[in-house]
Amino acid sequence: MRGLRLFTMPALLLAITALSACSVSATPGGSTAGASEKATGPVAIGFSQATQQSPFYVQLREGAEAAAKKAGAELYFADADGDVTKQNNDIQDLITRQVDVLLINPVDPQGVQPGLAAAKAAGIPVVTVDRPVPDGAVSHVGRDNKAMGELVGKALSEKLGEKGGTVIEIRGDAGGAVARDRSAGFHAAVAANPKIKIVEGPYSDYVRAKAVTAMQDLLQVHPDVAAVYAHNDDMALGALQVLKENGKDKVLVTGVDGLMEAVKQIAGGGQYVATALNDPISLGATAVDTVLKVRGGEKVPAYVDAGTALIDTANAGDYSGGTGEFAQALQ
């Protein structure tokens, strides 16, 4: 049969294995152009993300994808699923695809160093988003997580007043800069109130289901809890669920990120009393804008601050009418 090319079995198995090993998806456009085509084609951005196991990170990806599409750039996405070894492999896959710039949301700032070293060796600049790394990136796009913790801590301290009480802190990820800074800012803000005692709970990786389990255990040990501070709203909502199931409707709850579900709880005047704005859509867009500036040869700051604000019972109604999953900065 003319024109029909036959593959030997080893060659066919090799081809199938190579295809199945690839964990990188391309959006939008899905270009698989070679080096000669890419040189004159759209900017290729490789986005390696820590996880998709939280609404925040899902929308961070969506914000980056929308911004890349608007700019006419190709965005190749890889989800590390919380595994730093997989993330390093994903970064290598993106390098092999000959992306122009890498955007990295690291699982572990130290553990991702092999990926950063590979990018440096390949001459590909790196921009980090949300979670910084000690070195290896030309710029970091994020928000002041210490300021977020301070804003929420001050608001909660004022709510508890002179009576104070036990505050359970449900933490994000072990060793992560975001968790460290959100904790440090909160502790600094409540330090002026000697009646407040902070109980540091387990790391729940910003996942609601893990926070539910943590809160169930903590409530057994600390039934007199006065308030909860979680490093993100998803975990705070998990804690709120447990409190309600156990009739603890007087315990105050606070979080970070401005998840719309939490903002509506605050606007409703219940026991959820404060969060800090951390709109992931705008963060993803700002990250892509920074990446494109780097690719264009522009000088960018080492740290690009996307800004934050307190959302509490006084202003939650201004945000709760939005249709998105997270509150967005008021214009």
Distance CA 55, CA 59 (A): 6
- 328 in a domain, yes or no? no
Provide the H-helix boundaries in the chain: 9-21, 35-38, 55-71, 84-96, 113-121, 145-160, 177-190, 208-221, 233-245, 260-267, 280-295, 316-319
Contacts of 285 (CB under 8 A, 6+ apart): 63, 64, 66, 67
- Considering the domain architecture, whether residues 36 and 112 belong to the same structural domain is answered as yes
- 326 in a domain, yes or no? no
Per-residue pLDDT, 15: 40
Confidence of residue 31 (pLDDT cuts 50, 70, 90): very low
Confidence of residue 36 (pLDDT cuts 50, 70, 90): very low
- What's 226's DSSP letter? -
Q: Which tens digits make up the pLDDT trace of 282-321? A: 999 999 999 999 999 999 999 999 999 999 999 999 998 8
Give me 90's structure tokens.
């994903």
Q: How far is CA 172 from CA 38, 181, 275, 316, in A?
A: 39, 11, 15, 24
- What's 281's DSSP letter? H
Is residue 259 helix, strand or coil?
strand
Give me 25's structure tokens.
């998806």
- 1 in a domain, yes or no? no
User: Count of residues for the chain?
Assistant: 331
Q: Which residues pair with 126 in a beta bridge?
A: 102
CATH number for position 136? 3.40.50.2300
pLDDT surpasses 50 at 12: no
- Considering the domain architecture, whether residues 171 and 193 belong to the same structural domain is answered as yes
Q: How far is CA 265 from CA 4, 168, 229, 313, in A?
A: 64, 19, 15, 9
Of 159 and 4, the one with more pLDDT: 159
Confidence of residue 27 (pLDDT cuts 50, 70, 90): low
Decide if 115 contacts 48 (C-beta within 8 A).
yes
Per-residue pLDDT, 248: 98
Distance CA 35, CA 105 (A): 26
- 9 in a domain, yes or no? no
Distance CA 278, CA 326 (A): 8
pLDDT surpasses 90 at 3: no
- Considering the domain architecture, whether residues 264 and 296 belong to the same structural domain is answered as no
How confident is the prediction for the chain on average, in pLDDT? Answer: 89
- 12 in a domain, yes or no? no
Per-residue pLDDT, 331: 57
Give me 134's structure tokens.
């000690």
Per-residue pLDDT, 322: 77
pLDDT surpasses 70 at 224: yes
- Considering the domain architecture, whether residues 160 and 87 belong to the same structural domain is answered as no
Is residue 207 helix, strand or coil?
coil
- Considering the domain architecture, whether residues 81 and 209 belong to the same structural domain is answered as no
- 3 in a domain, yes or no? no
- Considering the domain architecture, whether residues 93 and 61 belong to the same structural domain is answered as yes
- Considering the domain architecture, whether residues 189 and 225 belong to the same structural domain is answered as yes
**Residue 175, exposed/middle/buried by CB under 10 A (0-12, 13-18, 19+)?**
exposed
Provide the H-helix boundaries in 227-301: 233-245, 260-267, 280-295
- 296 in a domain, yes or no? yes
- Considering the domain architecture, whether residues 94 and 172 belong to the same structural domain is answered as no
Q: Which residues pair with 277 in a beta bridge?
A: 257
- Considering the domain architecture, whether residues 267 and 153 belong to the same structural domain is answered as yes
- 4 in a domain, yes or no? no
Distance CA 41, CA 74 (A): 9
Q: Which tens digits make up the pLDDT trace of 68-81? A: 999 999 999 999 99
Q: What is the number of domains present in the chain? A: 2
- Considering the domain architecture, whether residues 127 and 260 belong to the same structural domain is answered as no
Decide if 87 contacts 80 (C-beta within 8 A).
yes
Domain span holding position 207:
145-277+310-319
- Considering the domain architecture, whether residues 315 and 176 belong to the same structural domain is answered as yes
Q: Beta strand 25-27 with 74-79: parallel, antiparallel or unpaired?
A: antiparallel
- Considering the domain architecture, whether residues 136 and 253 belong to the same structural domain is answered as no
